[in-house]
Amino acid sequence: MRPLAFVVVAVTFTAVAAAQTRSNPPLPPVQPIGAWTPVPELPGMGRPVDTAAVALRRRTVAARIGRGVVLVPAAHERDIERDYVQDNDFRQTNTFFYLTELETQDAWLLIVAGSDAAGTVLFLPPRTPAQERWTGLRLGPDSAAARLSGIARVLPSDSLDRILSAVGRPAGPLYVPLDVTTREESRLKELVFGGRDVRNLRPLVDSMRLVKDADEIARMRKAVDISAAGHVAAMQAARPGMWEYEIEAVVEAAFRRHGADRLGYPSIVGSGPNSTTLHYDVSRRQTRDGDLVVVDAGAEWGQYTADVTRTFPVNGKFTPRQKAIYDLVLATQQTAFDSTRPGATMAQLDRVAREYMRAHSGTLCGGQPCDAYFIHRLGHWLGMDVHDVGDYGTPLKPGMVLTLEPGIYLAAEGLGVRIEDDVLVTPAGAEWLSAKAPKTTAEIERLMRR
Ligand code: GLY
Ligand code: MN
Ligand code: MN
């Protein structure tokens, strides 16, 4: 995938103009801000923007680069003929969303560092009433967009030339989000930017995304709460003989019923032997009495995702053996949580967890200590991406969100247990975000009895 990545970026830059002429010839005349009929409500335009939060993020970007220009394209609508569209046909790019919270397609954000708010420009495609018969109302370059986005200067993005002429000859580098390696980056600069000083915006924005602000944490709490409701629903519905896909349907129906925008990642519902396959996601087996079921499923809400795993007996009652393995995983997770505090690192938490599991394995996993069967890392950053961006060497700080997800996978026995929770780092330590999903064997059995 990597070698193609730079082509995608290059295409982004050239395709905007092409797509505009291809899909809406002829272009409507450019409307100045405020010229469109005011639209009091903009259904389908996404949720309210926390304008103060996004303005602070943009100011931070400008301050960190000091001098230069930032140019960020929004995502394009996906194409139902060419893409595998599985849910909404549009999801904003995370970088654009982080800096605007707008769920609008084919937009561009320009930030001129070193200037005040007037140095930020939002470019939006002109509204086309004929297209809106298909799409519903769209945000256009008008005063409603300025009000909703908190960006005072909103201009039409009717051509790439207009955007690039607004960029002008920047004093300083041009920062764009590039999903490419350094080697590809230099090639890209030659190909697309004619050797200008073009730099990748991603490392800066990605590092900012590590520490979540209040608005992001509120979004994550919502995504996690919805996810917990899905796990509760799965436990309540599970019966021996159900197909994995039926359990998956229960989880995902609950997500949508509670307002999830989409799944954060493909749901994993692995029963019996499938509980030992880490990312088993086809859900085609019929459960049997005595199976454990690993359900790893997270809802996305407001661009942020949860990542929660629960393991339960499909018949509602853990066997003594299942309970013993389960309780070791649970205690390992608790030990990692107890060490989660500002200043700790992911590597330290991982070590603490493995050492605990090893020291408390006894003969539970046969000739080897159980950590030999804990075959993935303890956790990862969580945010707009399920495996969120950011340097894994960064010591924890308040506002960071991570998963703690130890597991033991005994393939020979068809017995897998993973317990995964989402954890917010606080000044004093850490907070379980996903505590609403029952977790002890007693809690799970009690819920499943009802
Ligand atoms: N759901 C994917 C993971 O836990 O990393
Ligand atoms: Mn995870
Ligand atoms: Mn997971």
Name which residue leads in pLDDT, 42 or 428: 428
Q: What pLDDT is recorded for position 116?
A: 52
pLDDT category at 194 given cuts 50, 70, 90 is: confident
Q: Is 296 touching ligand 1 by the criterion CB < 6 Å?
A: yes
Q: Is 422 touching ligand 1 by the criterion CB < 6 Å?
A: no
pLDDT category at 208 given cuts 50, 70, 90 is: very high
pLDDT at 293 exceeding the cut of 90: yes
pLDDT at 4 exceeding the cut of 50: no
CA distance 345 to 314: 36
Q: What pLDDT is recorded for position 114?
A: 76
In 3D, which of 263, 251, 268 has the Cα closest to residue 301? 263
pLDDT digits (tens, 9 = 90+) for 346-400: 999 999 999 999 999 999 999 999 999 999 999 999 999 999 999 999 999 999 9
CA distance 438 to 424: 18
> For residue 178, how many other CB atoms are within 10 A of its CB?
21
Cα 130 to ligand 2 centre (Å):
43
pLDDT at 117 exceeding the cut of 50: no
Distance of CA 289 to the CA centre of its chain: 35
Full set of structural domains in the chain with CATH: 51-209 (3.40.350.10), 214-449 (3.90.230.10)
pLDDT digits (tens, 9 = 90+) for 297-306: 999 999 999 9
Q: In a mutational test of the pocket of ligand 1, which residue from 420, 421, 422, 423 has the highest number of ligand atoms less than 8 Å from its CB?
A: 420
pLDDT category at 38 given cuts 50, 70, 90 is: very low
pLDDT category at 438 given cuts 50, 70, 90 is: very high
Distances (CA, A) of 70 to 107, 194, 274, 337: 14, 17, 46, 38
The atom number, within ligand 1, closest to the CA of 405 reads: 4
**DSSP letter (8 states) at residue 303:** T
Q: What pLDDT is recorded for position 115?
A: 60
The burial class, CB within 10 Å (0-12 / 13-18 / 19+), for 286 is: middle
Please name the residues in contact with 393: beta carbons below 8 A apart, sequence gap of 6 or more: 345, 346, 347
SS3 content of the chain, % helix, strand, coil (to 5): 40, 15, 45
CA distance 127 to 143: 13
Q: What pLDDT is recorded for position 211?
A: 98
To 5 degrees, how large is the angle CA 36–CA 42–CA 45? 115
Least confident of 144-153, 174-183, 403-412: 174-183
pLDDT category at 192 given cuts 50, 70, 90 is: low
**3-class secondary structure, 208:** helix
**3-class secondary structure, 291:** coil
